[in-house]
Amino acid sequence: MSGRRIFTRPARLAAIAPYLWMALFFLVPFGFVLKIALSQTAIAQPPYVPVFDLAAGWEAFKAGLSALSFDNFKLLASDDLYIFSYVRSLVVAVTSTAILLLIGYPVAYGMSRLPQRWQPIAMMLVIVPFWTSFLIRIYAWINVLQHDGLLNKALLALGIIDKPLVWLSTDAAMYLGIVYSYFPFMILPLYATLSKMDDALLEAAADLGASRLKAFWLVTFPLSLPGIGAGVLLCFIPIVGEFVIPDLLAGSDRMMIGQTLWLEFFTNKDWPVASAIAVVLLVVLLVPLLIYEKLQRRHLEQR
């Protein structure tokens, strides 16, 4: 046994495990998706050509390679439907994330300022609704928002409105559903950074002449930026690809990219276009991740 070996075999395995995981469950499937995106739709099983068969030999493989093309990506760029879907997804994600941050920050801040023994209870109140299935909660919202639902009944009973309003199948309902569903993903990282904040720093700020409001802006807020970054990413990325909430709560006139993808895949049976949509979506989502990564790195380099 060499005494110079630092890592034992299990330790080395642990070190490469994340990469193995990424390779097996992300890169390989992504390779499949990319390949399908470069294929052409066909009435066949599977519904696209070419299909690579390892048994068919080298020549067949080369022929298959030459059959791949970027046609599907060109289609995405030329058809307004796809561009509008992407834009709509981004607009919805930006708006929802902004609303989540505006509501989530004060709530997380309030939670972090609660007496120590109340904090776990507040945390439970945020998390417990998520022990119920996500779909059931969205269907519950449909019940609340529909024409003769709880909301209209309550407003009528209180005399605020005199005839039922349309809530369901509106953007408002969709935003409500998204904000409701993603709330903990915004709250938890914010709460984690805010509750770690050293009270002595605020005392130091006060001691050095900062009012409470100034101390918040100059100390608490900048120190909570990593939490804001994490919360924003955790919400923004899945919201861009959101399918269920807009499908169930929003109107059907404008689609988010997830809905368009679903349509291509299940209704039109056009796997190559659906795959191309997914690939472009991934590239679009890499942008905020790369920005975050860059900011983090700059932050570290400043240290």
Partner 1 sequence: MTVGAAKTPLLRIGSVVKRFGGFTAVDDLSLDIAAGEFFALLGPSGCGKTTLLRMLAGFETPDAGAIHLDGADIAHVLPHERPVNMMFQNYALFPHLTVEGNIAFGLKRAGLPKDEIAARVAEVVALVRLEGLEKRRPDQLSGGQRQRVALARSLARRPRVLLLDEPLAALDKKLRESTQAELLDVQRRLGMTFIIVTHDQEEAMTVADRIGVMNKGRLVQVAPPRELYEAPNSRWIAGFVGDINLIEGQVAARQAGHFTIATEHAGTIVASHVPSTATSNVCAAIRPEKIRISKEASGESAVNTFSGNLTSTGFLGGVSVYAVKLDGGAVLRVAAANATRASADGFVVGQRVTVSFAPDDVVVLDR
Contacts with partner 1, residue ranges (CB under 8 A): 198, 200-201, 203-211, 214, 218-219, 222-223, 302-303
Does residue 276 contact residue 220 with C-beta atoms inside 8 Å?
no
φ/ψ of residue 49, rounded to 5 = -130, 155
* Nearest to partner 1 of 99, 206 (CB atom): 206
Number of residues in the chain: 303
User: Smallest gap, in angstroms, from Cβ of residue 194 to partner 1?
Assistant: 14
The nearest distance, CB 209 to partner 1, in angstroms, is 3
Could you tell me which of 237, 223, 238, 219 has the C-alpha nearest to residue 292?
A: 237
Q: How far is CA 200 from the centre of its chain?
A: 35
- Which is nearest to 113 in space by CA: 126, 122, 125, 104? 122
Task: Tell me if 292 sits within 8 A of 235, measured CB to CB.
Answer: no
Write the burial class of residue 178 (CB in 10 Å: 0-12 exposed, 13-18 middle, 19+ buried). Answer: buried
CB of 190 to partner 1, least distance (A): 17
Complex with partner 1: residue 65 or 218, whichever CB lies closer = 218
Which CB atom, from 193 or from 259, has the smaller least distance to partner 1?
193
Nearer to partner 1, 144 or 206 (CB): 206
The CB-of-117 to partner 1 minimum distance in angstroms stands at 16
d(CA 240, CA 257): 8
Question: How far apart, in whole angstroms, are the C-alpha atoms of residue 101 and residue 190?
Answer: 9
Which CB sits closer to partner 1, 168 or 219?
A: 219
Which ranges constitute the DSSP H helices of 27-57? Answer: 28-37
Tokens of 182: 């993603």
Minimum CB separation from partner 1 for residue 201, in Å? 5
> In the bound complex, what is the minimum distance in angstroms from residue 112's beta carbon to partner 1?
17
Closer by beta carbon to partner 1, 18 or else 209: 209
